[in-house]
Amino acid sequence: MAERRCLKALRSATISLVTNVPAPEESTTGDALWPVDAALGAAARLTRIAGGIGRAVVSSAPAQVVIDATRTITQPLTEEGQMLREGSPETGTPGLAAVVREVSPAVVDLVDIDAIVDQIDIDAIIAHVDIDAIIRRVDIDAILQRVDIAAIMDRVDVNAIVQRVDIDALMTQTELGSIIAESTSGVATQALDTVRSQGVGLDGFVARWANRLVRRDAAALPPGPPLLVGQPRALPPGDAS
Amino acid sequence: MTVTAPSNFESDVSLQGHYAGAATRTAAFALDQTVATVVYALATALVAWLIDLVVGPDYTIEPHQGVAGVIFVLWLFVYYAYPWSVSGKTLGMAVLGIRVVQRDGSPTTARNGVIRTLVLPITFLTLGIGFLPILFGRERRALHDTAGGTAVVYDWNARAARLRFLARQQPREREPHR
């Protein structure tokens, strides 16, 4: 227990030393740890003083002479280290970077990614995501303005869609039929439809008997005026060859 | 005798614009004659009442039969010639869903309407022979059609009628069975 407290105090003191930010509260309080805190505070102050002295020394002219001399002396070692890091094209020796690139895939293959993924609770992560906030940040209007509706409509074959619509099913299975029925289901309309349909049926009956009397093929007759039903047949059906 | 059921609008759709048959044309003509006669009778009764109102009950008016006949014929001429010239259909034809067109299917003109109306009585005077081409002619044109350069075709919107029929079936099919 005491070791853990010491570690916490040491961590806080280190953070404070590096960042110049006041240390967390656990390092500033606690009567039992005052010797440790005092020691750490002294060490931190000494470190700051030493750092200032070091920077002053390093920036001085004699120190620069010493540094340059050291750099000159260690030049062969520097070149050999650089060669080791980057590799030598003359000897074909690969550099450390190349070695790492070669070795990395094999190392990655050794890692069981699936096992790692299995340990991750995706649902928990998703639960933390605020979808509404994300959607609020999306500018739908801007996206829609970039969509060329006309181009999309040009690519849609409306006629083909209409051809696929089953009008009969539409009328019998949807409310559209009820709407039409309510608007046109007057007694007069029904009576007219019935009378006309009966008349057409009776016309067909009479015409069949008339054609039978004169032994004439009804299919050879023109169905109606050319402007209303198209051009009349030049030849009866079957003789067009 | 087989007559097309009222619900059989399927075949009627394909008959739109085709030459109308004898039964429909006869029914339309009968309806037109009835309407024309009733209107004429009502009009003469109204005129007689107005005259009686003006001159009083002491005077009795005996209309000349010849004059009344001429007026009736003139009325019939107007009744048929005007709609045939303007819209191609009389009241009876509109009810039965047929229309007079020119032989090629284009709308009728005043000339077509007037000639057709004038020749119509002659068709009757042939003792019905003038009507036989409606049954046996290739284009079902009676004598007055041939003279006026006209033909009679189906004109009612059978497709709309079929949709109305289907729409009427829907509530019936959805009724719960008792």
pLDDT, tens only, B32-67 = 999 999 999 999 889 888 888 888 777 776 767 788
Q: Taking Cα atoms as reference points, which of B124, B123, B126 lies closest to residue B145? A: B123
- Asked if A170 is an interface residue toward chain B (Cβ–Cβ < 8 A), one would say no
**Residue A197 and residue B135: Cβ atoms within 8 Å?**
no
In the predicted model, what is the mean pLDDT of chain A? 77
CA B124 – CA B140 distance, rounded (Å): 16
ipTM for the whole complex: 0.78
Extract the tokens encoding A210: 């008339």
Amino acid at B16: Q
pLDDT, tens only, A44-67 = 999 999 988 988 888 888 888 888
Contact residues, chain A, for B155 at CB < 8 Å: none
Check residues A162 and A91 and name the one with the higher pLDDT: A162
Sketch the domain layout of chain B as residue ranges: 20-159
A232 confidence band (pLDDT: 50, 70, 90):
very low
A 103-162 residues with CB < 8 A to B: none
pLDDT, tens only, A114-160 = 888 888 888 888 888 888 888 888 888 888 888 888 888 888 888 88
Please give the backbone phi and psi of residue B5, each rounded to the nearest 5 degrees, phi first. -70, 150
pLDDT, tens only, A3-22 = 556 556 666 656 555 555 55
A218 confidence band (pLDDT: 50, 70, 90):
confident
- What's the pLDDT score for residue B110? 95
Give the 3-state DSSP-derived string for A98-161, with helices as H, strands as E and coil as C: HHHHHHHHHHHHHCCHHHHHHHCCHHHHHHHCCHHHHHHHCCHHHHHHHCCHHHHHHHCCHHHH
- What's the pLDDT score for residue A23? 55
Check residues A172 and A19 and name the one with the higher pLDDT: A172
Please tell me which residue of chain B has the smallest CA distance to A173. Answer: B170
Compute the average pLDDT of residues A202-218: 90
A 174-193 residues with CB < 8 A to B: 176-178, 180-181, 184-185, 189-190, 192-193
CA A67 – CA A207 distance, rounded (Å): 123
Residues of chain B with pLDDT under 50: 1-7, 178
Q: Which of A189, A207, A225 sits opposite B103 (nearest CB)?
A: A225
Which range of A28-42, A180-194, B26-40 scores highest in mean pLDDT? It is B26-40
- Asked if B135 is an interface residue toward chain A (Cβ–Cβ < 8 A), one would say yes
Please tell me which residue of chain B has the smallest CA distance to A199. Answer: B24
Extract the tokens encoding B2: 């087989």
**Residue B19 and residue A224: Cβ atoms within 8 Å?**
yes
Contact residues, chain B, for A222 at CB < 8 Å: 19, 138-139
CA B109 – CA B98 distance, rounded (Å): 17
A236 confidence band (pLDDT: 50, 70, 90):
very low
Q: Which of B8, B22, B97 sits opposite A206 (nearest CB)?
A: B22
